Each structure stands twice: as C-alpha cells, then as structure tokens.
Structure 1
Amino acid sequence: MLEVALAHRFGTTGFAIDAAFTAPTPGVTAVFGPSGCGKSTLLSAVAGLLQPRSGRVALDGTVLLDTAASQMVPPEKRRCGVVFQDSRLFPHLSVETNLRYGLRRAPRGAEGPGMEEVIALLGIAPLLPRRPAALSGGERQRVALGRALLSRPRILLMDEPLASLDAPRRAEVLPFLARVRERFRLPILYVTHALDEVDRLADHLVLMEAGRVLAAGPLEDLSARTDLPLLAARRDAGAVLACTLLDHDPARGLSRLGFAGGDLRVPLREEPVGTPLRMRVRARDVSVATAEPGGLSVQNILPATLESIEPAAAHEAMLRLRIGGAVLLSRVTADAVARLALQPGQPLWALVKSAAFAPAAPEAGTRGAEGFPQSTP
C-alpha cells in the first residue's frame, strides 16, 4: 500500500497543500485535477525532491518520510523512477547511453527488466544510436520511461508525461504506458489532468483541487458519483464500466460486451473474445424512457432504476441510474425531468447508441464512449 499524508506551504502566504490518501499496490494511482492544484507538489514529496513541513510517506510498509520521527530517506535511496513532462535526457549522450545510465543507477542485485526487454517493450531499438535532439517528443518520452524502468524502481512516478505532446504523439505513447502497466505491475503514481489517460491507465483515482484531496478510490466508483463536480461537471463526464468481450458478430459489424448490468453491443472490435475492457459511457450519450421503447435504431436498451437526480449545468440535471450491479449516468435537461415527472426509485429504461462507443480520432481532442484493453488485476 502507498500511504501519503503531507502539509506544506511555500513561503508565508504562498500556495498551501494539505493532502492525504492511501492507495493499493501494485497498480496505477492517477492523481487528477486542474493545473495548479498541487499534483506535482505531492509527487515531488513522494520522490523526496521536496521536504514538506509535515508529512508521512510509506510504500508497502517501508517509511520514506516521517517528519514527526525526523526520518527522511534521501531521494537517491528511495528507488523512485521519475518521468517528468520534459524527458530530461542527457542531450550529449545517445539513446543507448541514456538507457545505460538508468541501468547503472539500479541497486546491485535488484530485480527488474533488462536492456533488451525494455527496448523491445517500448519499441525503441531503431532509436539507440540517435541523440535526444533527433527524436520526436513521443520518442523522447518513451526513452525517458525506459531509463526510469532500467533503474529498477520500487515505484514509478510520472508527472504529466504526455502534457507537452500534441494529440497524435499522445496517442502514440499511451499504448506503451499501458504495456508497462500490464507487464511489470509496479506501483505507479501518475499525475495528469487528462481524463482519457486516467481511463486508459488508472486502477485507483485521487481527485485534487486547491491543494486538497476531494476523494480517492477505485476509478469505477468515483466516475459514477454525481457529488464530485470535478468529474460530474465536465462535458465528457460518464461512468466507467469494467467489461469483458463476449463475442463478435462480423456480419452485423458488432461485438458484445458483458458488464455487471448486462450486455452492451458496440462497433466490431479487434480484441479476442475474453479480453477485459474498460468502457467510459458519457452521460450525454445516455437517454432515458419511462416505458420500454420499440422501433428504434438504438441497440442498447437496459432496464434501470433511477437512484438520484442532481443539478448539473444551467437547465440540466444528472441522473444516476442503477443497472444490475453497475451504474450509468445520464445528462438530461431540467425540462425532461419535469416533463417525465422523474423521481428517485422510479423504474426507467436507459438507452445508449452503439455508435457512441466508436473511438474518437486522436486529433479530435475529446473522446466519446470508448473502450480500452484492461489488464486483469
């Protein structure tokens, strides 16, 4: 388990952070929030690059920081592999030599991946003789990730590693981060303000705002909460579902996914039957009906119970729908709530178009209901 609790203020009137959370290990814990909320400060304290005025950090029972006991493990002995926004590669060294620098930092006898495995996993063999100036932004970040892995860390710390990349380069690097997540099962603390990165990578989510932790817990649980404006107020707000690919119907161009609330039909996917998938179903893509509809193009018509109604944006409301063992969110107008006389406890039908699950193009900058391959815990 990763335990983090810290309080710090920069100067006498500067930015203050007072944050605490615990997260399971191994797995990816995403720290999500707007720019300037304290995410990077928190990560720096875990890495030992910042000594807070008070705090405690422990990883799987090993204490890295405890100000009350005057205990602080130096950064170089914490075995944290850090990947920053900018790659921070040595510009005068080749890619191969940058990677070997990481390997030299690994403690003697420490278990971890070797050069050949990291190079193959990240697809950087053609880059080995080049210097960083000859690499694209995405290539530099893959090399920086490789160098961090070769130091054989006990935890990987990633500080908005894709923030400086354009959409195509982000789409290029994300699959490699997912490979690292699935292959090594390291504890990873991943700072980001991009929801698609959270969906793709995170097991556990920590929401931060103005230096404080608003909520922390499994991604699927937090995504379905309507009382967290940091998520629910977004136009791409929606519930994240853990699904399994059940079968394909090539003749119809559809695949069928199973989840805790039943089945979903989505555009034909490439993954084999049995693949775990994580799907974000945007609230604005979910409609409701008070009676089972017929004669519709909509493929997914699911019996639901209305659990709650919360105000959303102007003249809108957010519905929380219970569907078996799962929850969906539906963003509707306030007029629809009044016109349908919606009340908590009411049985409804949730309608989700199959086309809503089609992946958005990377250049679009936003994503619809989308599924990402998900490793089993």
Structure 2
Amino acid sequence: MHIDYTLSKGAFRLSVDIALPENGISVLFGPSGCGKTTLLRCIAGLEPTATGTLIVGAQTWQSHEINLPPHRRQIGFVFQDATLFNHLSVRNNLYYGWKRIAPALRHDLSPIIGLLGIGDLLNRKPYELSGGQMQRVGIARALAVSPQLLLLDEPLSSLDTAKKNEILQYIEKLRDIIHIPVLYVTHSMNEVVRLADYIVVLKNGVVCAQGKLSDVLTNIDSAIILGDEAGTVLTATVDKIDKRWNLASIRFNGGSVWIRDCGYLQGALVRIRILARDVSIASNYPSLTSIQNIFEGEVDSIGNDEHHSLSLVRIKVGASFILARLTRRALRQLEIVVGKKIWAQVKSAAIIE
C-alpha cells in the first residue's frame, strides 16, 4: 500500500510518503497534533484539498488523474467514539452498511459477531451499551462492509484501562484472521508494542521513522524520539515453567529470559518488552548479582540520547538486538566502543499483555 499526501491547514503542513504492508497492523504513532488523524482523513477521502497518491493493493484510489469519493473507497473506519445510530438496534447498525454494498461483496456476519463477542447485544440500542461494547460494535460495523482497508483512529482513547485491555484482545484476534491492511492510530506506546507489526512515527506532519516494529524500536536514531519508552520488543516462546519459584523461561533468538510466571502454557508465542532504562552493561561477567538475566553481547552502535548526560547503546545478542541507556560517564569509564564484547544485564522484562 502506497500513501503519499501533502496537505496544508493553516500553519500546519502534512507531508507523508510511506509504503505499508498489505496485511497486518501498521501503527501511526506520535504526539497529539502531529497529523495522525489528518492522514487517516486524507486516506478516507475526507480532506478535499489533500493532494497525492493512494494505492491499495492493485487499485489506485487517488492520483493526479483519479480521486475516488469517500463512498467509493472500500474503507472501514472506526473513530474514537463508535458513532452508532442511536435509533437503530445493534443488529440494524451492522446491516446498515452491509445492505448498501454490492451483493457480490456481502459476506456472512456471524463469524465477526462471534469473534467480537456481540451476539447477545444484537437487539440492544447503542445507549444501552457500555463504552467497550460500543467500540466492539463499531469495529464489527466497519468490517461488515467488506473493506479493503481498515482505519482505527484511537479507538481506545475514551475507555478505562480494563476496557482497553478487553478491546486489545479482540483486535489481536482480528489481526490473525482478517487479511487486509489495518492502519491504527495511537499515541500510546503500550498499544504500539502490543499490536504493531509495522510502525510509522510522525512528528509535526512528517515521518521521523518507519519500518518493522523491532527494527524501529532498536534503531539508535529513532529510539531517541521515543524518549523514556525506548526499548526492545522481542518475539519469543515460553520455553519452560519453574513452579518452585513461579518463574517462566522465555526463549528468543539470542537466549532465554526469566520473568514471573503469568500463566502462559509452555510453547506459547509471546512478545516481551525490555526497556532501555532497565538494561545495564558490565565489561566482565558479573558473578555476584541479583540480576537473573545476563547476556553476552557485542556493542553494535552508540548514539546520543535526549539528555546530554545519556547515551543509547545497541547490543547484538545472538540474532537479536537490545537497547541500553547509560550515562556518558559510564560509557567512558567502561570504555564502551562499537565492536566491544560486553555483558548486558536485564533488570526487568515483561510479556506484553
């Protein structure tokens, strides 16, 4: 999917040129006002003064010669608020758009209804639903029109933590079964590391970084943009459970890390997150330490951090990379340079859930 847009609105200017995967979840990440929602509106055809190119699959939806109106772009759009029709039941909300697409595009909505757990809500009106229920119905309604592209604009922003976690579980399930690109907007790094396959970092209307999640998070140049959230996300497998100490050994492409046992079954595929601030470096193997996760590695790159007293160090551990945040003083004292063999001490790691 190719997205190339330019738009000026007062003092703000959006200038974006990105290529996204044709499936999985691509996350637009950045602070409020950076242009995330504006870009979604351009893609949906809701910004008439936006110029550029939009290619989805083999179809061109916008170019110098073509500009499909919003109703001809096969898009499912989920807003911050579900924006359901209050006078219609949940069932009729779902079928409102379904009835307006070509018969050849219609599909049985039962699987979506079951997956999102809204079967017992079909006869209710929107005002009888909780915020989380409304967002699940909103997602189902967006998928009911057989979209070629699903846009989610901060769908969790109005929900409390418990409801956010509930909706995230449903979105994770959708990621595994729908074979269309999903573009998800958020300013929450917790949502990014849980959902993203691909990430685009926006700042002041321009792209600061883009790529596979693990590549962007461990890139020294983009990590500084993430500030205190800089770190590593690793895809890993639950290797074994230590019932005596209530710990789980999680194996990644570079070693194993011990974390508290969260009840995952042996063999389960998980994502683990290691923040740069939770990683320290030793020149020699630390034999007497309370830290349980120690990895031999090699310094791959070194970069400046957001504060002049700090540096970011990217460490190659097996086929994976881990970030560490050190003071420049420690960097000098330990004589840390690119290529040096070191020991990375991971003070904390957690399964993303």
TM range (shorter): over 0.9
- Provide the secondary structure at the position in 1 that maps to 2:250: strand
Q: Once the 2 structures are TM-superposed, how far is the Cα of residue 229 of structure 1 from its aligned partner?
A: 5.4
2:29 matched to which residue of 1? 32
- Provide the secondary structure at the position in 2 that maps to 1:338: helix
1:9 matched to which residue of 2? 8
User: 1:329 and 2:345 equivalent?
Assistant: no
Task: Give CA-to-partner distance per residue, 1:300-359, whole Å, 9 cap, x none.
Answer: 110011223322224222111111111111112233223323222211101113xx23xx
Matches within 5 A, 1:199-210: 199-210=193-204
- Cα distance in structure 1, aligned partners of 2:100 and 2:286: 63
- Provide the secondary structure at the position in 1 that maps to 2:102: coil
2:351 corresponds to which of 356, 362, 370? 370
- Provide the secondary structure at the position in 2 that maps to 1:228: helix
Task: Give CA-to-partner distance per residue, 1:69-95, whole Å, 9 cap, x none.
Answer: 2x0122112110000001110111122
Task: Give CA-to-partner distance per residue, 1:124-147, whole Å, 9 cap, x none.
Answer: 223222222222211111110011
User: 1:94 and 2:94 equivalent?
Assistant: no
Given that 1:223 and 1:231 are in contact with CA atoms closer than 8 Å, whether structure 2 keeps it comes out as no
- Provide the secondary structure at the position in 2 that maps to 1:144: helix
1:365 matched to which residue of 2? none
User: 1:242 and 2:241 equivalent?
Assistant: no
Task: Give CA-to-partner distance per residue, 1:14-38, whole Å, 9 cap, x none.
Answer: 3211101001111111111111111
User: 1:294 and 2:287 equivalent?
Assistant: yes
Change (3 A) 1:230 1:212: farther
1:317 matched to which residue of 2? 311
User: Bigger shift: 97-106 or 34-43?
Assistant: 97-106
- Cα distance in structure 2, aligned partners of 1:338 and 1:230: 20
Identity across matched positions, percent: 36
Change (3 A) 1:284 1:41: same
Q: Once the 2 structures are TM-superposed, how far is the Cα of residue 7 of structure 1 from its aligned partner?
A: 0.8
2:247 matched to which residue of 1? 254
1:43 corresponds to which of 40, 45, 69? 40
Given that 1:225 and 1:232 are in contact with CA atoms closer than 8 Å, whether structure 2 keeps it comes out as no
Gap regions ≥5 residues in structure 1: 358-368, 373-377
Q: Once the 2 structures are TM-superposed, how far is the Cα of residue 281 of structure 1 from its aligned partner?
A: 0.7
Q: Once the 2 structures are TM-superposed, how far is the Cα of residue 52 of structure 1 from its aligned partner?
A: 4.1
1:228 corresponds to which of 222, 231, 235? 222
Aligned residue type for 2:15: D
- Provide the secondary structure at the position in 2 that maps to 1:295: coil
- Provide the secondary structure at the position in 2 that maps to 1:102: helix
- Cα distance in structure 1, aligned partners of 2:139 and 2:132: 11
Given that 2:223 and 2:231 are in contact with CA atoms closer than 8 Å, whether structure 1 keeps it comes out as no
- Provide the secondary structure at the position in 2 that maps to 1:256: strand
2:59 matched to which residue of 1? 62
User: 1:184 and 2:178 equivalent?
Assistant: yes
Task: Give CA-to-partner distance per residue, 1:189-230, whole Å, 9 cap, x none.
Answer: 111111111111111111111111112110110000121256
Aligned residue type for 2:31: P
Change (3 A) 1:52 1:242: farther
Gap regions ≥5 residues in structure 2: none
- Provide the secondary structure at the position in 1 that maps to 2:262: coil
Change (3 A) 1:35 1:299: same
Change (3 A) 1:34 1:109: same
Change (3 A) 1:277 1:229: closer
1:141 matched to which residue of 2? 135
1:21 corresponds to which of 18, 21, 24? 18
Given that 2:98 and 2:106 are in contact with CA atoms closer than 8 Å, whether structure 1 keeps it comes out as no
2:264 matched to which residue of 1? 271
User: 1:127 and 2:121 equivalent?
Assistant: yes
- Cα distance in structure 1, aligned partners of 2:300 and 2:110: 52
Q: Once the 2 structures are TM-superposed, how far is the Cα of residue 250 of structure 1 from its aligned partner?
A: 2.3
Change (3 A) 1:107 1:265: farther
- Cα distance in structure 2, aligned partners of 1:111 and 1:314: 57
Change (3 A) 1:199 1:159: same
- Provide the secondary structure at the position in 2 that maps to 1:301: strand
- Cα distance in structure 2, aligned partners of 1:343 and 1:215: 25
Given that 2:284 and 2:343 are in contact with CA atoms closer than 8 Å, whether structure 1 keeps it comes out as yes
2:190 matched to which residue of 1? 196
Q: Once the 2 structures are TM-superposed, how far is the Cα of residue 151 of structure 1 from its aligned partner?
A: 1.3
Given that 1:6 and 1:52 are in contact with CA atoms closer than 8 Å, whether structure 2 keeps it comes out as no
Task: Give CA-to-partner distance per residue, 1:230-263, whole Å, 9 cap, x none.
Answer: 6442x12101112122232323322222222122
Aligned residue type for 2:88: L
- Cα distance in structure 1, aligned partners of 2:124 and 2:330: 59
